[in-house]
Chain A
Amino acid sequence: MTTSADIQTLETEELISGSEAIARACALADVDVITAYPIRPYDTVMQFVSKLIADGELTCEYIVAESEHSQFEIVKHASAVGARVFTGSSGVGWFYAFEALAVTCGLRLPMVAMVGNRALDDPGAFGCEHNDALAVRDLGWMLNWAATAQECIDTAFLAWRVAEDPRVFLPVAISTDGAFLTHSQQIVKVPDKSLVDRFLPPYDRGKFQLHPDNPITIAPQVNEDWLMEIRRQTDAAMRRARDVIIEAHEDFKSIFGRGGDPFLEEYMTDDADVVLMGMGTLTLPLKVTVRRLRERGHKVGFIRVKWFRPFPTPEIIESLSRFKAVGVIDRDYSLGSPLHGGVLFNEVRSTMYSSDSRVPIIGFVAGLGGREITLRSTREMFEITEKAAEEGTKGQEIHWIGVRE
C-alpha cells in the first residue's frame, strides 16, 4: 500500500494537454515501437513523443509511416514479436487504417492507440465527433473515453495493463475529444516511473510470440471450418476483459490513490430524478449545469460512461433503474438506426430493455463537428428530459441540440 505521502513525493504536477499526458505515459511505460502519421488533432501526441525521443527521455523504435494503414500494420507486427506498442489517429485517418484495425482484434494483439476524436470529412471539419472511434465498436477493440488530461495519462497505463493481460490480448483505443482534450492544458499529476513499474508488468506474449525459437504459424486460412470457434474465443476474451478492467482499476487506486469507479462516473445522482449521460469532455458544462439547476431545486445529475467496450451493462442497468427519466447525449450520429438515435442512445436503450424499470430514455445529438455544448444547450436537454419524466413518456424522442433550423 502506498501512503498519500509516498505518492506526493513520487509524482509531479505539470500543466500539460491530454496529448502530452499520453506521450509522457509512453515514456513511463517504456513503449518499444511507436508509429506516427499526421492528422489533426491526435497528431499532437506524436509531436510530444518525437520530442521526448529527441531529448532522450523515451527510447523506442519510432517510425513515421507513409499512411495510417501502414502506421497500424507496423505496430501490429511489432506487437506480434513481443514489443509494447503505441500509435493513434483521428477521423478519416482512423478509417484509412480500418483494415488493420479489424485484423488486430482477430490476431489478439494488445495494441494501444489514441483516437483524437474528429469529424469524418467530407465536408472538411477538424472538430470533435465520436463516430471515428465508435466505428470499431463491433470488432473487438476495447474503447475508453477520457474526460481530463489526468485521465489521459492514467488511462494509458490502464490500457496497456488490460490489453496485455493474457486473459484479454485485445487492443485498446483511448478516445480523447479533439481540441477539448488533445489541445487543452490542465494540471496533471505525472507519476514517477517506479510507481508505473509497480502497476504495469512487462508485456509477455508467451507462447504466441513470433520468434525463431517459437516457430508458430499465425493466422493461417481457417474458413468455415474454424472461424466461428475463433470468433467465439475473441468474444470470450472481451467478456473476460470486464473483470480485468475492474482488477486493474483496483490496483491503480491502491498504487496511485485515485481513479473512482471503473465504468461510470456519477455526479450528484444520489437523489436525482433525472440524469443526462454522455462520454468525454462534455462532462464539464454538464457538471456546471447540474450544480446551477440544483441551486434552483431541480433533482438532476450526470453520468459519464468511461468504458464503452466492454459495455458496462450491469452498472448501467443498476444505475439508470433509479431515475424517472434519462437523457443520453451522443456526440455522434447513427443514420437510419432505431429511432434515428445516436450510438450511445441505442446501446443504453437496448441495455435497459431487460430491466424492470423501463425508464424513459430520450436521445440527444449534440456537439457535432466540435460545436460547443453550451450551458444553454445542457439546460435545454435537462428541460426536455424532466418533461419526459413528468409526462411519463416512453422516450421515443430524438432531439438535435444546438443546430440551426
Chain B
Amino acid sequence: MTTTQQLTPLRGVKQSPLEEFFTSGHRTCQGCESALVMKLMIKAAGPRTIVLGSTGCMYVANTTYYSTPWVVPWMHTQLGSSGSAALGTAAGLKALMRKAKMKDEPINVIAFCGDGGGVDMGLSAISAALTHNDYNLLILLYDNESYANTDIQVSGSSPWGANSTFSPPGTVHRIMNKRWKKNMAGMLAAGHPQVRYIATGCASYATDMMNKVRKALSIGGPTFIHTFDPCPKGWDYDPMYSHELGMLAVQTGIWVQYEVEDGKITLNGPSRLLARGRPRLPVEKYLERQGRFAHFTKEDTAYFQQQVDDMWERWWIPGVVPPGMAEE
C-alpha cells in the first residue's frame, strides 16, 4: 500500500536542496512573501509532488500560459476548492495505484489557497478534507491578509482596522473592518482531532517553514499549514522589509509560530521564547511600519495591543487555544 515519502528534516539553511521547482516565469510583486512560500514549499517537497493551486495571487500572478514557473505538475483549482482538489487528486492516485492502473509510489499532494480561498470560501472543503484519514495530502494556506489579487479587499483573515479597498477609513467611519482575524490553525486543530499535523509558519523563518512542509508530507494523512506572508502591495510598505515585518509580527506576538503533532502543541522559535517570558515587542512597532494602519489613533493601537495581550495572558494555550478557564 502506498505510504508517504520520508523527507528528512533540514538542520540549517545550508542543507536546503539546491534544485528549484518553482522558477522564473511568474510575475508576482517585488517583495512578495507568498511567492517565497511557494518556492520553499516545493523545494522542501521535491519533484515527486503534484501541486494544486486555488484561485488567488499565487494562481493569477504566478501561472501565466506559456511561462509557468512550476517544474512539478501543477493544476489550477477553484477559489474554494483547495480541500477538494487535494482530496480528489489523492483519491485518484490511490484508486489507480491500488488497482494497479498506475505505478505504486508515494506522490506528495499539496493544495494551496490564499486567505480568501482558505479562511473564507474554502473553509468547509478544507475541514472536510481533514476528516479523510485515508488520503495523504497537505493543504497550505498562504495568508497575506486580504484578497490581494483582486485589489486588496478585506478577508476573514485581515487584521482589525486594516485599510483595504472594501474597508477604507473615511471621514465618518475610521475603522471599517471591525472583525478580528480568524484563528485558523487553532480552529482546525481543535476541530479535527485525528489530523496528525497542523502548523503555522512564516517564510522569515525559512528552515522552520520547510521542515514543517516536510513533516506534514511525511507523517501521513491530511495535514494543514498556515503561513503568514507580508504583502508590500496590500500592507503598504517598501518591499525590502517583507522579511523584517514577518519577524516583527512574531516578536510582537501577533503571529504565533507553532505546530500540533499527534495532539501535542509545540510553540516554535521566538514564539516559544515569548511563552517562556521574553517580553513581547509593542504591537505599535509592527503597525507603524505599514500604511494599512496609518489611520490608527492611539486608542486603536491600544485596542489592538489589548487583544494581543489577552491572547497571550488569558487564552488557555497562549496564541493557540482560546478561551481561558472560567474562574471557579
A-side interface residues toward B, CB under 8 Å? 30, 32-33, 59-61, 63, 65-67, 69-70, 73-83, 85, 99-100, 103, 202, 210-212, 214-222, 225-226
Contact = CB atoms under 8 A, between A and B. Distances in A.
B194 to A, nearest CB: 16
Contact of A73 (B70, B72, B85, B96): B85
B78 A221 contact: no
A32 B99 contact: yes
Given A33-B88, A78-B92, A212-B48, A70 B81 contact: yes
Interface string B39-70: 00000000111101000000110011110101
B77 interface: yes
Nearest to A212: B48
B127 interface: yes
Contact of A212 (B47, B83, B84, B132): B47
Given A103-B78, A221-B60, A76 B124 contact: no
Interface centre among A80, A211, A220, by most B CB within 10 Å?
A220
Interface of B: 47-50, 52, 59-60, 63-66, 68, 70-78, 80-81, 83-85, 87-89, 91-96, 98-99, 101-102, 107, 124-125, 127-128, 132
Given A70-B81, A211-B50, A32 B92 contact: yes
Contact of B95 (A70, A78, A103): A78
The SS class assigned to the A binding surface is mixed
A81 B92 contact: yes
Contacts of B71: 215
Contacts of B78: 73, 99-100, 103
A99 to B, nearest CB: 6
B65 A212 contact: no
Contacts of A219: 75-76
A81 B88 CA distance: 9
Contact of A74 (B47, B72, B84, B93): B84
B92 A83 contact: yes
Contacts of B99: 30, 32, 59
A80 B92 CA distance: 8
B50 A81 contact: yes
Contacts of B92: 32-33, 61, 77-83, 85
Contacts of A85: 92
Contact of B96 (A81, A99, A220): A81
A218 B96 contact: no
A219 B64 CA distance: 9
B74 to A, nearest CB: 5
B81 A69 contact: yes
A217 B70 contact: yes
Given A33-B91, A65-B84, A221-B64, A82 B96 contact: yes
A85 B89 CA distance: 12
Given A100-B78, A215-B71, A67 B88 contact: no
Contact of B65 (A66, A76, A99, A221): A221
A75 B73 contact: no
Contacts of B107: 211-212
Nearest to B60: A221
A211 B48 CA distance: 8
Nearest to A76: B88
A75 B95 CA distance: 12
